[in-house]
């Protein structure tokens, strides 16, 4: 099996995991609290920058073509232009940041936790900015409704994603450098 096929299979599997965890939703006004950011963090921590971001891209593409993979079993391009669209685009930044930081430092829990926090903050900033624009909200209102209520949950989800991602990497002896090598073993 080629490197790119292995990578795409893993990315597709994790896109499905993101879709499933996205359905765990707690309504909090305009923007719900979901399992999406946990799933994005886990994906990027486990798969790394490249494959993790491909998984997030596949997930977003599935939702944009209309499959009900976004929170609340929604999908379609209209969701991207709604109040939560910025958070969805922020997931790409979140995945890139988490994978990049872990690859540049080390796949250890403290670094993974830091990477997940940075990634979560990037997604929150992107989402809050879009919330203000798409809903014509003053920035202060957007921050109070789309950023502040999610800080503590993101701390918990980032901790869980970092811990589980690193644990899985260790238990499965997963290394992005060796798993995608084209050498026969």
- 45-60 pLDDT, tens digit per residue, is 999 999 999 999 999 9
- 68-112 pLDDT, tens digit per residue, is 999 999 999 999 899 999 999 999 999 999 999 999 998 899 999
Average pLDDT of the chain to the nearest whole number: 92
Provide the pLDDT for residue 181. 46
What the block records as the tokens of 14 is: 């994790």
Q: What is the CATH number of the domain that holds 88?
A: 1.10.1760.20
List the domain range (segments joined by +) for residue 110. 1-175
Bridge-based pairing state of the strands 33-34 and 25-26: antiparallel
Asked if residue 185 belongs to a domain, the reply is no
How many separate domains does the chain show?
1
Asked if residue 123 belongs to a domain, the reply is yes
Coil, strand or helix: which one is 34?
strand
CA atoms within 13 A on the CB side of 181: 8
- 143-180 pLDDT, tens digit per residue, is 999 999 999 999 999 999 999 999 999 998 777 655 54
Which residues, in sequence order, are bridge partners of residue 33?
26
């Amino acid at each position: 099996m080629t490197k790119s096929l292995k990578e795409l299979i893993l990315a597709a599997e994790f896109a499905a995991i993101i879709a499933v965890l996205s359905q765990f939703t707690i309504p909090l006004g305009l923007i719900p609290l979901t399992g999406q950011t946990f799933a994005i963090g886990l994906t990027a921590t486990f798969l790394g920058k490249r494959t993790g971001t491909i998984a997030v891209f596949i997930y977003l593409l599935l939702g944009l073509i209309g499959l009900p993979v976004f929170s609340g079993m929604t999908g379609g391009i209209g969701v991207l232009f709604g109040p939560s669209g910025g958070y969805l685009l922020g997931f790409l930044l979140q995945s890139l940041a988490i994978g990049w930081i872990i690859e540049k430092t080390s796949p250890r829990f403290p670094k993974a936790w830091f990477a997940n926090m940075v990634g979560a903050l990037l997604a929150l900033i992107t989402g809050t900015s879009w919330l203000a624009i798409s809903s014509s909200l003053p920035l202060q209102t957007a921050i109070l409704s789309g950023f502040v209520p999610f800080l503590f949950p993101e701390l918990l989800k980032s901790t869980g994603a970092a811990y589980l991602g690193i644990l899985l990497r260790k238990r499965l002896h997963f290394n992005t450098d060796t798993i995608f090598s084209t050498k026969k073993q």
